[in-house]
Structure 1
Amino acid sequence: MLKGLILEVTGGGLLKENLNRDGLPWRETVGGTAAELRRAAGELAAQPRELLCLVETDRQEKIALEGGFFCIGYLNPQLPDERLSGCKILLEGFQEVDAPFLRNVHTRALGLPVQIAETEHLLIREMTLSDLEEVNELYRRNGSFQIEEAEETRGLTPQEEEEKVRAYIDYMYGLYQFGMWVVIEKNSGRLIGRAGFGIADYLDFSEVDLGYLMDRDYRRRGYAEEACRAVLAYGTRTLEFEQVAAYVEEENQKSQRLLEKLGFDRERIFRYHEKKLYRYIWKNKGETDA
């Protein structure tokens, strides 16, 4: 659990306001020395691993990492030569940084998945490396939820596959704060599907799109709709999406009906790699409930 933030940056007034509003304790250091970090941790009544340290120079990062702290970096435009290569995430500003965001960063730094939603029957959370075998089995039994995913992963060694998943967790979850999440049935504890958001580039532009895959043994129970509604609610409330796309093949009439039930409108029909695809659009009207 994140107990506080240590600030070692300039120009963090907006961030301090956000932290005070959210009730997340913070302390500010001036010299960035190991002694100052220990003092700040003591004032926050926390161990280094219970804190995040926000730094803007490689020197600050080195001292914090050696002290056992997790680091996040600020790309200060006045300090263009700082690399901050050991930081969990790099920030270009503080406008969108608040306590929930920082708690998610800290949870991932601990190697734990962030829980996205809990519904009547399902838990939806970020994928971890320990989920890889179950996710692969999900794909073997049911195919891929994305049109090109099978081609991207075919022929990879287990080590290459693990590295691909690790990069996905760091890049998509860490940078974009979203991705394809795993769906767990609460009663059984089984991983039964995936649902979430990706970046689609089937046309001459990129956009956020909804995707899902449910294990065949758990279909016709309303789980796909339940998961997708929860995901869209998260997209609305937490990610503040105004619009989400969805792409579905012409013959997949079940997914077309589900999208329409969720409030998507068919916007376009086009060909992609010899397949006819439908593009659907969902607009945030402030009415989505999990």
Structure 2
Amino acid sequence: MTERLRLEPVRPALADDLWLLHQDAGIARWYGGTYSRAEARERAAGMGATWAGGGVHKWLAYDRESGGLVGRGGLSYQEVDGARRLEAGWAVRGSLWGRGYASEIGRASLAVAFDELNADEVVSFTEVDNLRSRAVMERLGFGSPREIRHRGEPFVLYVLPRPQGRH
């Protein structure tokens, strides 16, 4: 739970919500288009297996008051810039942009990374022209942006080392 959100690990039972989320034009733009129901089931199953195996993965984020689907985000291990790294990410429905939900998901992710997983660093990356997501990264304290190639496309990678004094 965060101040406004209930975060649920993505698992097969939430495949329909994952599908619904990825029908949103504001999200589909950055994730290669909309998901089919089969893709959503496959991705939810994969994320659920990672969670069940003791790992970490993404959450679906729901408004605590209304129960409405807000977005998704959290942590996952990704192959980024030639190394397996702990990555924080978020995606919020376009109609809810500008309300601080991505930052709220990001802060929850960083709390898990540093306080529970004892991570030395967390990375975040996005397409070079995704200025909204880049602004969230900067608000959360990520720095040292540099361009990388991801899936053959130009992305920008940000890094957040463990803050001093955080154990």
TM-score range, shorter chain: 0.7 to 0.9
Tell which has more relative contact order, 1 or 2 (C-alpha 8 A, sep 6+): 2
**Contact kept? 1:264, 1:280, Cα under 8 Å:** yes
- Aligned letter for 1:132? A
Alignment-derived partner of residue 68 in structure 2:
190
Distance across 2 between alignment mates of 1:279 and 1:122: 27
Alignment map for 1:200-219 (pairs within 5 Å): 200-219=78-97
Q: CA deviation at 1:146?
A: 6.8
TM-score (norm 1): 0.51
Compared with structure 1, are the counterparts of its residues 287 and 131 closer, same or farther at alpha carbon in structure 2 (3 Å cutoff)?
farther
CA contact (8 A) 1:214 1:224 kept: yes
Q: Find the counterpart in structure 2 of residue 129 from structure 1.
A: 12
Aligned with residue 165 of structure 1, among 44, 59, 71 = 44
Residue 168 of structure 1 aligns with an amino acid whose one-letter code is M
| Percent pairwise identity | 22
Of residues 17, 22, 28 in structure 2, which corresponds to 1:139?
22
Distance 1:220 1:132 in 2: 26
Find the partner of 1:277 among 151, 155, 161.
155
Amino acid at match of 1:125: E
Instruction: Classify the secondary structure of the residue corresponding to 2:51.
Output: helix
Structure 1 residue 186: deviation in Å?
0.7
Equivalent residues in 2 for 1:170-185 (5 A)?
A: 170=49, 172-185=50-63
Give the match for residue 114 of structure 2: 236
Q: What pairs with 1:1-290 in structure 2 (closer than 5 Å)? A: 118-141=1-24, 142-144=26-28, 150=32, 158=38, 162-170=41-49, 172-285=50-163
- In 1, are the aligned partners of 2:19 and 2:35 still within 8 Å (CA)? no
Of Structure 1 and Structure 2, which has the larger fraction of its residues in strand? 2
Q: Which moved more, 1:185-194 or 1:130-139?
A: 130-139
TM-score by length of 2: 0.84
Larger-Rg structure: 1
Contact 2:27 2:92 in 1 (8 A): no
Q: Deviations over 1:163-189 (max 9, x none)?
A: 55224312x112242101111111111
Secondary structure at the aligned position of 2:23 is classed as helix
Question: SS where residue 285 of structure 1 aligns?
Answer: coil
How many positions carry a matched residue from both structures?
Answer: 165
Secondary structure of the residue aligned to 1:206 is: strand
Equivalents in 1 of 2:42, 2:84: separation in Å? 25
Query: In the aligned structure 1, how far is the partner of 2:165 from the partner of 2:95?
Result: 31
Unpaired stretches in structure 1, ≥5 consecutive residues: 1-117
Preserved CA contact (<8 Å) 1:145 1:212: no
